[in-house]
Amino acid sequence: MSDLDYPVSLAVEDFVPVLLTACAAARLVAPAARTGRAGRHLAASATVLIAAGGLSKAGWKLIVALDGPDIQPLNKALFPLLSAGFLLLALALLRFGLPGAPESRGGAPSGGRLPWVFAGLWAVVAGASAAFASTAPVMALTIAAVTVCAVRLILLARAAGDTLAASAAGFWLLGMYVLGPLASRPDQSVALQWVEQSCNTLTQAAAVLAAWRLVPVLSAGASTPADPGTPPSTPDTRTVTS
């Protein structure tokens, strides 16, 4: 049993922002697929990991609220899964080029090296969290990954002239900065939990709004790279004689 007494209503409401965040990430899978199979896999995997992290924490809270066992692995899985998920989502968003930029046709950023850099970074940070028995390193990595995602969404929205989407992405980023330290506090009153979850719901709703408005723009602007196994076409050089 946990020392905290979570009302069932509080525990159930915790699923709302989880579903909103997963919806925002899932909404980006289709346009990411237009940048290639890697883009689709990155966005889809990000959605799964983000949803798994949120559902793990929300599920733990619901079990505790129903007087069930205190399964700490469910509680502690939040930031490791979120950090991995948002790193993958950042990679997917970086495949969308800004108008006028050299990478505007889409494709793997940094020559394909960036995914390995992100993977190594996550492994080091997750190892540090495990070694020091602290969520602080993976929480900081989660906020950093969210920052990359939000800034990229803001830049894409501004390039498309969508002020509302840019503002929504900015609000999402601001909310995540506030929520990270709140969620990492070990002992939270029920009142503070309600404040945190209300802010979280509004924050993730902003993410859904930004993603929803940007999908048509991203789908129209992204181009699918040619299949590496397909040889390039050659022009027909035959001449026609009369």
Confirm if 78 and 21 have CB atoms less than 8 A apart: no
Do the domain assignments include residue 21?
yes
Confirm if 61 and 68 have CB atoms less than 8 A apart: no
Amino acid making up residue 129:
S
Confirm if 81 and 139 have CB atoms less than 8 A apart: no
Using pLDDT thresholds of 50, 70 and 90, give the confidence band for residue 162.
Answer: very high
Range of the domain at 187: 8-109+119-220
Q: Which of 3-12, 31-40, 54-63 has the lowest mean pLDDT?
A: 3-12
Do the domain assignments include residue 241?
no
If one counts the domains in the chain, the total is 1
- pLDDT above 90 covers what percent of the chain? 62
The tens digit of pLDDT for each residue in 111-144 reads 478 888 999 999 999 999 999 988 889 999 999 9
Burial 89-122 (b: 16+ CB within 10 A, else e): bbbbbbbbbeeeeeeeebbbbeeeeebeebeeeb
Using pLDDT thresholds of 50, 70 and 90, give the confidence band for residue 242.
Answer: very low
Instruction: Find the mean pLDDT for residues 203-209.
Output: 97
Name which of 179, 178, 158 is nearest 167 in CA terms: 158
The tens digit of pLDDT for each residue in 62-102 reads 999 999 999 999 999 999 999 999 999 999 999 987 654 55
Confirm if 64 and 91 have CB atoms less than 8 A apart: no
Q: What is the mean pLDDT of the chain?
A: 84
Do the domain assignments include residue 234?
no
Residues 6+ apart with CB under 8 A from 143: 176, 177, 180
Do the domain assignments include residue 225?
no
Residue 217: what pLDDT?
85
Do the domain assignments include residue 214?
yes
Do the domain assignments include residue 26?
yes
Name which of 28, 43, 51 is nearest 88 in CA terms: 43
Do the domain assignments include residue 135?
yes
Do the domain assignments include residue 226?
no
HSE-up of 174 (CA within 13 Å, CB side)? 10
Residue 189: what pLDDT?
78
